[in-house]
């Protein structure tokens, strides 16, 4: 598996297939069947996080190229336009490589997968990237994924809607001109998505300033849908101060009347082994089923290859010592005769003695 930070520049008349695939909120088992099929066939995958790179290593080919970059040339975050240019350029390179290697077949040209956290249609620059690919002549496909808002809420045991809360308002805390007024009504569940605790704190402050009741329940979730998930409940008035202390690092906040339902509906963080870290003394190939079983109970399994297969100890000692035997004469056939090591000699004497007793015990009956 090869990794590069940037696609190689180049202009080619060849075209590639580009699939925009939703990676889900974190749990690899939430990937769709179509997503895993495309990852298994991809020539290159563009990712924007280490977590997404782990997904490629699990489902991708050994020789797949991973294109991972989150910053521009000057260290700043990539804009939607920069991402669009990068994806289109990577697709052109994939098409060029496929043509040079003769990999393009009747089934289609080279395949580039653009792996996006959650669902590709929400809070990503999908429109700009699609436009850039179409302009370059590449064919495209969109594979939906489990959205971060729906996935994290489900794993936290919090429904997004209920009789008391009939609508959902999703806000990206990183957006400066976000509509916080749409989440003021008490019948609306607000999902605030951010990249860190400080960003979430700013967003919840703006929701409070917009007019949402400070007593509204809030659930703060970090590492959502993974075995490291942790959910903390508080109120809107207290959430900002709690986040600024630095004790929590959530990236999703749920605000609304459905949050208290977690007390009865929590299912993931209440698994019997949730939060446990279990070391599995097996090789990576052998540990797979055990790690999957541990995950079902909420534990995180880690492979520790402490077992090795070797020759039997007695045979190993004899083989080592046999090389140190010293010739003391020759056998009847003229070949050198050697003196065995102590353990082997004792073993031979015991075997000969046993055989002698056996022959002695059988002789009277034979004579009869």
Q: In which band, very low, low, confident or very high, does the pLDDT at 214 lie, cut at 50, 70 and 90?
A: very high
Whole-angstrom Cα distance, residue 158 to residue 263?
Answer: 9
30 has a pLDDT exceeding 80: yes
* pLDDT tens digits for range 248-257: 999 999 999 9
Q: Active-site positions? A: 48, 85
Residue 91, pLDDT score: 96
* Average pLDDT score over residue span 157-186: 94
Name the superfamily (CATH) of residues 2-146: Tetrapyrrole methylase, N-terminal domain (3.40.1010.10)
Residue-range domain boundaries for the chain: 2-146, 150-265, 271-321
167, 188 Cβ separation under 8 angstroms: yes
276 has a pLDDT exceeding 80: yes
Better pLDDT: 258 or 349: 258
Q: In which band, very low, low, confident or very high, does the pLDDT at 176 lie, cut at 50, 70 and 90?
A: confident
Name the superfamily (CATH) of residues 150-265: Tetrapyrrole methylase, C-terminal domain (3.30.950.10)
Token representation of residue 82: 């920069």
Q: In which band, very low, low, confident or very high, does the pLDDT at 100 lie, cut at 50, 70 and 90?
A: confident
Mean pLDDT of all residues in the chain? 83
Q: In which band, very low, low, confident or very high, does the pLDDT at 315 lie, cut at 50, 70 and 90?
A: low
Residue 79, pLDDT score: 85
Q: In which band, very low, low, confident or very high, does the pLDDT at 13 lie, cut at 50, 70 and 90?
A: low
* pLDDT tens digits for range 56-81: 999 999 999 999 876 544 445 778 89
Whole-angstrom Cα distance, residue 300 to residue 317?
Answer: 40
> Helix/strand/coil (H, E, C) string of 158-214?
CCCCCCCCCEEEEEECCCCCCCCHHHCCCCEEEEEECCCHHHHHHHHHHHHHHCCCC
Residue 325, pLDDT score: 46
Q: What angle do CA 101, 104, 108 make, to 5 degrees?
A: 160
Domains 2-146 and 150-265 share a fold: no
272 has a pLDDT exceeding 50: yes
Residue 328, pLDDT score: 47
* Average pLDDT score over residue span 162-176: 92
* pLDDT tens digits for range 101-122: 765 544 467 999 999 999 999 8
Residue 61, pLDDT score: 94
363 has a pLDDT exceeding 50: no
Residue 175, pLDDT score: 87
Instruction: State how beta strands 252-255 and 217-222 pair.
Output: antiparallel
* Average pLDDT score over residue span 11-40: 90
8 has a pLDDT exceeding 50: no
The pTM of the full predicted model, rounded to 2 decimals, is 0.75
Residue 314, pLDDT score: 63
Upper half-sphere CA count for residue 342 (Cβ side, 13 Å): 0
Instruction: State how beta strands 336-338 and 327-330 pair.
Output: antiparallel
């Amino acid at each position: 598996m090869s990794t590069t930070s940037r696609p190689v520049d180049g202009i080619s008349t060849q075209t590639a297939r580009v699939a925009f695939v939703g990676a889900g909120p974190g749990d690899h088992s939430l990937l769709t069947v179509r997503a895993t099929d495309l990852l298994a066939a991809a020539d290159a995958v563009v990712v924007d996080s280490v977590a997404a790179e782990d997904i490629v290593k699990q489902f991708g080919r050994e020789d797949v190229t991973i294109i991972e970059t989150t910053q521009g040339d000057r260290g700043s975050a990539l804009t939607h336009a920069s991402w669009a240019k990068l994806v289109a350029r990577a697709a052109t390179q994939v098409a060029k490589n496929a043509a040079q290697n003769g990999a393009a077949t009747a089934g289609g040209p080279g395949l580039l997968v653009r792996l996006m956290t959650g669902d590709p249609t929400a809070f990503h620059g999908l429109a700009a990237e699609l436009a850039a690919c179409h302009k370059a002549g590449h064919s495209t496909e969109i594979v939906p994924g489990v959205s971060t808002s729906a996935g994290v809420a489900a794993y936290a045991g919090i429904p997004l809607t209920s009789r008391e809360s009939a609508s959902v308002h999703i806000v990206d805390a990183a957006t400066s001109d976000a509509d916080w007024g749409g989440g003021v009504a008490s019948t609306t569940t607000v999902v605030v998505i951010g990249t860190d605790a400080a960003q979430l704190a700013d967003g919840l402050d703006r929701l409070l300033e917009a007019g949402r009741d400070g007593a509204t329940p809030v659930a703060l979730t970090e590492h959502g849908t993974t075995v490291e998930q942790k959910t903390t409940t508080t109120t809107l008035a207290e959430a900002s101060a709690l986040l600024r202390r630095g004790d929590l690092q959530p990236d999703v906040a749920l605000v609304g009347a459905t949050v208290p339902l977690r007390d009865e509906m929590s299912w993931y963080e209440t698994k019997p082994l949730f939060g446990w870290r279990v070391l599995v003394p097996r090789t990576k190939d052998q540990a797979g089923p055990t790690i999957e079983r541990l995950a079902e109970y909420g534990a995180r399994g880690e492979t520790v290859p402490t077992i090795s297969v070797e020759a039997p100890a007695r045979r190993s000692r004899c083989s080592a010592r046999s090389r140190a035997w010293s010739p003391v004469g020759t056998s009847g056939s003229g070949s050198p005769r050697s003196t065995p090591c102590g353990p082997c000699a004792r073993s031979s004497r015991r075997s000969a003695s046993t055989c002698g007793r056996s022959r002695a015990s059988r002789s009277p009956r034979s004579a009869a």
